[in-house]
Amino acid sequence: MSEQESLEQSQAPDSTTPQMGNAQEAPAAEVDIQTPQDPSETPAWTPDFKFKVMDKEHEIPEYLRAVVKDEDTLKMVRELHEKAYGLDHVKPKYETLKQQYEQLQPQFQAVSGDLQMLGQFLNPEAPDLGSAFKMLGLSDDAIFRYANERIEYMEASPDKQAMMDKNAQIRAEHAKYSLENMGFKEQQATQQQQRFEGSIESAVNSPMVVQIAQSFDQRAGKPNAFRDQVIMHGATLSRIAGRNLPVEDVIHNLITTYGLNATQASQPAAQAQVPAGSGQPAGARQQSLPKVNGTGAAPVKAKIRSMDDLFKARDAMDRANRS
């Protein structure tokens, strides 16, 4: 091949190279261009400043709401308030448990020390039975009676010994069951007391009663005054009825008997009394005490309109019964 043919081949177009004039153009890739959303169309976030503690609803104070900028800060502020408000319920229980612990600790230490001392007296290697009997408060008669029983047991036949062993086992099981029954009754009483306190808390903090309870506490000038009054009123009604009444019935009777409401309960005691014929709330009955048998006259003729009247009537009835 000559140099001229080699040059012509090098200048000839490559068949593998696409020609711009003859090749079909590839379609351009489609690009999804999204229209930016108008900020004004985004729904505004409205924080919920309410929170609940022990089934009682509260709200974050106004001066702290400016701190809330988003859901994270709202969660933080709400948790702080839940913990703060929860202390009002936890602190009394803590104080009660602390007081019980302080009362039981000296007793436990005394019993533990006595058991250690008794263990030393009953040491199998060098027992001091005289000191052990004295510490247990056993009399000489009890000691001699037991000694005679042991002598009788040792001299008895095998059948009689088996019967005596069985009787001793029955007495031990009876003592065990008595202790378990006593513990069960104490546990049952504790659970019943806890259920009672829980039912009172739930009833007092119900939406229909909570405002009346708060106003009553404010009027009395001490917390849980309404709760304590419910317990006293319930004890009186239950004693009269001869059975335990539901807490809801006691609260309803207390409110309707004295015509309590959120406004009236917060007024001073002199203003809370409603004179006769001055438009007493509908449905509120004026209660008067019945005559006491044997006196011939009612100890209190005035109608009861307040808690002070109730206490005076109770004192008058006590004086009449004693006379």
Q: According to the model, what pLDDT value does residue 169 have? A: 93
- How does pLDDT run along the chain (323 residues), one tens digit per residue? 555 555 555 555 555 444 544 445 555 555 555 555 555 555 677 888 888 887 778 888 888 888 888 888 888 888 888 888 877 777 777 888 888 888 888 988 988 999 999 999 999 888 998 999 999 999 999 999 999 999 999 999 999 999 999 999 999 999 999 989 988 888 888 888 788 878 888 888 888 898 898 888 888 888 888 988 888 888 888 889 888 888 889 998 999 888 887 655 445 444 444 444 444 444 444 444 444 454 444 444 455 566 666 667 667 766 766 66
Q: Any idea where the domains of the chain sit in the sequence?
A: 47-137, 139-199
* CA–CA distance, 82 with 52 (Å, rounded to integer): 7
238 Cβ contact partners less than 8 Å away, ≥ 6 residues apart: 244, 245
Nearest to 306 by CA among 260, 262, 252, 266: 260
Three-state secondary structure call for residue 284? coil
Give the angle 314-320-322 at the CA atoms, nearest 5°: 105
Dihedral of CA atoms 139, 141, 142, 146 in degrees, nearest 10, equals: 140
**23-46: pLDDT as tens digits:** 455 555 555 555 555 555 556 778
Is the entire prediction scored with pTM above 0.85? Answer: no
